[in-house]
Amino acid sequence: MRGLSTVPTVSIVVPVRDEEAGIERTLRGLRASFADCELIVVDGGSRDATVARAEPFAMVVHADGGRGPQLNAGAAAARGEVLWFVHADAEVDPRALPLLRAALADPRVVGGGCRLRFDRDGPVLRWLQWTSNLRARYLHWIFGDQAMFVRRTVFDEVGGFPAIPIMEDLEMSRRLARRGRLAVLPTTCTASARRLVEQGPFRMLVLMQVYKLQYLLGTEPEVIRRRYEAQRR
């Protein structure tokens, strides 16, 4: 594996689709907190003003086919030695960047993510935060809402994200864990709980576990995606 420079360059990749309401706030925050990082937005076919609102703050590229292809398109456009994937409705603690670079000073670390936190409170959300952070630490499963990062060299070695419509972050975590260590940074990525609250936190918690189990048992990702979309209507 080719080593990183003393201070590795970092590219932040933000996948979006119809995020006009909050994309400027997210990108302003990323620019303010991580000024020396390259910032790339990957649009997956927005029908609103997302692209126009993103263009003053970031390079914008386009990709179809779901989240995995979007993330790969952003990686293809990126020049950084580290790829950092951040959701459009997430807020990353400014302390995360020096901690990320410190973690990658260990050549055994291939990537990782932040501890998950939600922007709302409640017993189910607290349970989901706690179990998600335990899962990341002990099972090495890091999901997109934890701001996954990965060395560019390792990303290329594993072939990027799988071209599947759901569970691409779970599968990427499993691939990365076979290559080296995944670090959980001692700081947070605050994810929006809006969709969970709208759909019912306990109901969505149960469904998420069911879908993960189905994926691990071999159910086709497209079948899981259709079930997921049907439940959200």
Residue 42 and residue 49: Cα distance in Å, rounded? 14
Residue 206 and residue 164: Cα distance in Å, rounded? 22
**Residue 200 DSSP label:** -
What is the pTM (predicted TM-score) of this model?
Answer: 0.91
Contact present, 138 and 168 (Cβ < 8 Å): no
- Encode pLDDT of 150-175 as tens digits: 999 999 999 999 988 889 999 999 99
Angle in degrees, CA 35, 54, 33, rounded to 5: 20
Whether 6 has a pLDDT exceeding 80, the answer reads no
CATH class of 10-194: alpha beta
DSSP 59-97: EEEE--SSHHHHHHHHHHH---SEEEE--TT-EE-TTHH
* Weakest-pLDDT range from 127-131, 182-186, 222-226: 222-226
| Residue 207 identity (one-letter amino acid) | L
Query: Domain coordinates of the chain in residue numbers?
Result: 10-194
Distances (CA, A) of 29 to 46, 87, 143: 21, 13, 21
Whether 3 has a pLDDT exceeding 80, the answer reads no
For 46, other C-beta atoms within 10 Å of its C-beta total: 18
- Encode pLDDT of 60-81 as tens digits: 999 987 888 999 999 999 999 9
Assigned token pair, 52? 């126009």
Whether 197 has a pLDDT exceeding 90, the answer reads no
